[in-house]
Amino acid sequence: MGAYWIEGGVPLRGELAIHGAKNSVLPILAATILTGGCCVLHNCPRISDVETALQILEYLGCKTKREGSTLCIDTYEAVPRPIPVSMTGRMRAAILFMGSLLARFGQAYLAYPGGCALGERPVDLHLLGLRHMGAHCDCTEDCLCCKSSCLEGGTIALPFPSVGATENLLLAATACKGDTVLCNCACEPEIGDLVDFLRCCGAQICGKGSVLQIRGGCSLHGGEFSIMPDRMEAASYLAAGAATKGELTLTHVCPHHLEAVTAVLRKGGCELREGKDYISLRCEQLRAVSPIRTAPYNGFPTDAQAPIMAALASAKGISVIEERIFSNRFLHVPALRKMGARIRASRHYAIIDGVSRLCGAEVEATDLRGGAALVIAALSAQGRSRIGTTEHMERGYEDFAPNLMGLGAKLRME
């Protein structure tokens, strides 16, 4: 297991280009199964979750090739093999292969997906929608099995705008007999990216936002597509800039995707400038912001909660965060306390009483965004910190440590 040694107290300064979005490329990689052809995907980040998705595709008989940030995926020879826990256990997004395999082959078998331990993340909404389409879904303690000789369209209203369920049902709906209308869909930009990719490959999808209509039975084909920028990566670097009282510019971003995050940073006293594809931040002293409530898009994103909390740990005043998406998303709080943060946390609420300066400590990352939060805290702290279990960050941030060093961070990889 790797670690970062960080000497804190250095303001981050400079310019950084943001990579392609983890939460966009993963469902699109699953969607390539539907095409039965060759897909060329540009701006694909080199992160471990993408490598796991490619291993699953190869296990299913697909051919994959990477050239820089471009992936070529040929799914012509794909077969519906059961996907083992050795692959699905590494990432939550493995569940998305269920919709695409069911649509193309009428069957899907996979072990329960893993990923970060953020609390209950049931697949009941996925199965509810697939059963509404006529699929027979069986669940054992360690395996999911879905079968259907003919998926049927209809109207499906999700009880909650789940991102994963929206994506899975969208994939399955492409093979339905008749039209499918999905109501109360998740509206995250990554959903829009998946819709655009499917349209590029011949799918007929109407609507925008929370209601989507999918024409079933369309013949899909391969296509060429560029993945959107990663708004969560951008949010993490903005939080790091604010925490270190730095000055940085992020390029290759979509500023309107980050409005909930930049609004919080502005309230905290940061100066921000935005253009068509860049955001510049300057911060002299971060002030407390309250309350922050995580919510589905276009509310404050749960994936940005931990990085922003790390920045607010040394802000002036008291901040309050309400986590309304996941039940166990404050796993990073004990480590922040070890670094001197004054944080009181319950299941859904955290009260952050900002200190003048955090102190270095040896801590372990427990999940992807929580790990990024510990790095941000260490960058702003006085003294040396060791952040262990860095493989969590490698799941979602390409070249995280080198990028920070390029912005002036005193960081050594172990």
- Taking only Cα atoms into account, the Rg of the chain, rounded to an integer number of angstroms, comes to 21
Q: How many CA atoms lie within 13 A of 200 on its CB side?
A: 20
Pairwise CA distance, residues 329 & 324, whole Å? 10
User: Do 2 and 411 meet the contact criterion of CB atoms below 8 Å apart?
Assistant: no
Pairwise CA distance, residues 265 & 370, whole Å? 19
Pairwise CA distance, residues 54 & 216, whole Å? 27
- Tokens matching residue 122: 């049931």
- The values of phi and psi at residue 84, to 5°, are -80, 165
Produce one character per residue of 281-320: b if its CB has 16 or more CB atoms within 10 Å, e if not. bbbeebebbeebebebbeebbbbbbbbbbbbbbbbeeebe
Pairwise CA distance, residues 158 & 328, whole Å? 23
> Nearest CA to 249 among 231, 263, 237, 265?
237
Non-local (6+) Cβ contacts of 133 within 8 A are 148, 151, 152, 153, 154, 156, 169, 172, 173, 176, 180
CA distances from 356 to 188, 243, 377, 379 (A): 36, 11, 12, 14
Is residue 145 annotated as part of the catalytic site, yes or no?
Answer: no
Residues in the chain, total? 414
- Tokens matching residue 107: 């069957």
Q: Which of 39, 62, 116, 137 is catalytic?
A: 116
Give the strands of the sheet with 271-274, arranged side by side. Answer: 13-17, 247-251, 278-282, 271-274
For residue 225, the tally of other CB atoms under 10 A from its CB is: 22
Produce one character per residue of 262-273: b if its CB has 16 or more CB atoms within 10 Å, e if not. bebbeebbbebe
- DSSP secondary structure letter of residue 260: H
Pairwise CA distance, residues 412 & 414, whole Å? 7
> Nearest CA to 246 among 18, 370, 408?
408
Catalytic residues: 116
